[in-house]
Chains A and B, each alone.
Chain A
Amino acid sequence: GDSVTQMEGPVTLSEEAFLTINCTYTATGYPSLFWYVQYPGEGLQLLLKATKADDKGSNKGFEATYRKETTSFHLEKGSVQVSDSAVYFCALSDRDDKLIFGTGTRLQVFP
């Protein structure tokens, strides 16, 4: 069945460092891909999405490009802030609309 694999955390960075969180997927169809973020004490928020190959989703300085050839959707940010500390979830939605999530990656940014 469909699945999402993302790098284990925690990822620990200093402020202004470059961030990459790897995400790869397995799907039989042509899924839509998402990154959700959960800040401490809050629910899941959609960070960005891409619906077809080569699409780039972007929001709040974060970017991810839908790479069909490598079945990847890596999350990147050029300069992280302390306020970016959260748990990040990669997810896909295939022919039905339920979301399939990865295990989540905790990001900790220190000043």
Chain B
Amino acid sequence: EAGVTQFPSHSVIEKGQTVTLRCDPISGHDNLYWYRRVMGKEIKFLLHFVKESKQDESGMPNNRFLAERTGGTYSTLKVQPAELEDSGVYFCASSQDFRQPQHFGDGTRLSIL
């Protein structure tokens, strides 16, 4: 089965621009999570979807970040406008149900100049 895929693998944009990251979970996985790792620090939770509903968005840093999962399939994470501190690696993960391990994608490295 195909794993979790993320697009793009690397994005370089200027401060103030908009960037949209995409995550395709494993087929059939209702749970989808976004995490990010900033500057070699710990990986931090951003939010959790169950199908198309936001189950927990307590980790979203501010209202410049918008996550969607229309139709309960793939998800997008938009950053608008991007700031320097948004640089980092954004990971997506999915699981079949909350008791199962989360499977991670390769991440999107976001660089804000």
User: A residues bordering B, Cβ < 8 Å?
Assistant: 4, 34, 36, 41-46, 49, 89, 91, 96-104
CA distance A36 to B93 in the complex (A): 13
The distance from the CB of B32 to the nearest CB of chain A, in whole angstroms, is 12
The answer to whether the Cβ of B45 comes within 8 Å of any Cβ in the partner chain is yes
Contact of B35 among A34, A42, A49, A99 (CB under 8 A): A99
Task: With CB as the reference atom, state the residue of chain B lying closest to A91.
Answer: B43
Besides A43-B3, A104-B42, 14 new A-B residue pairs in contact (Cβ under 8 A), listed by A number: A34-B101, A43-B105, A44-B91, A44-B93, A46-B102, A96-B56, A97-B48, A98-B33, A98-B45, A98-B48, A98-B59, A101-B35, A103-B40, A104-B43
Contact of A99 among B4, B41, B45, B106 (CB under 8 A): B45
CA distance A103 to B37 in the complex (A): 9
Query: With contacts A97-B48, A97-B98, A99-B35 known, is A43 near B42, CB below 8 A?
Result: no
**Contact between chains at A45 and B104 (CB < 8 Å):** yes
Query: With contacts A44-B91, A46-B101 known, is A101 near B44, CB below 8 A?
Result: yes
CA distance A5 to B5 in the complex (A): 29
**Contact between chains at B4 and A43 (CB < 8 Å):** yes
Interface size class of B (residues with CB under 8 A): 20 to 34
9 pairs, CB–CB < 8 Å, chain A vs chain B:
A41-B106, A44-B104, A96-B56, A97-B31, A97-B95, A98-B56, A99-B45, A101-B44, A103-B41
**Contact between chains at B101 and A43 (CB < 8 Å):** no
Most chain A C-beta atoms within 10 Å of own C-beta, residue among B42, B44, B59, B103: B42
Contact of B91 among A4, A43, A46 (CB under 8 A): A43
**Contact between chains at A99 and B102 (CB < 8 Å):** yes
The distance from the CB of A39 to the nearest CB of chain B, in whole angstroms, is 10
- B residues less than 8 Å from A99 (CB atoms): 33, 35, 43, 45, 93, 102
- B residues less than 8 Å from A103 (CB atoms): 40-42
Task: With CB as the reference atom, state the residue of chain A lying closest to B48.
Answer: A98
List 8 A-B pairs, minimum CB-CB distance, nearest first.
A43-B106, A44-B104, A97-B98, A101-B43, A98-B45, A103-B42, A43-B104, A101-B42
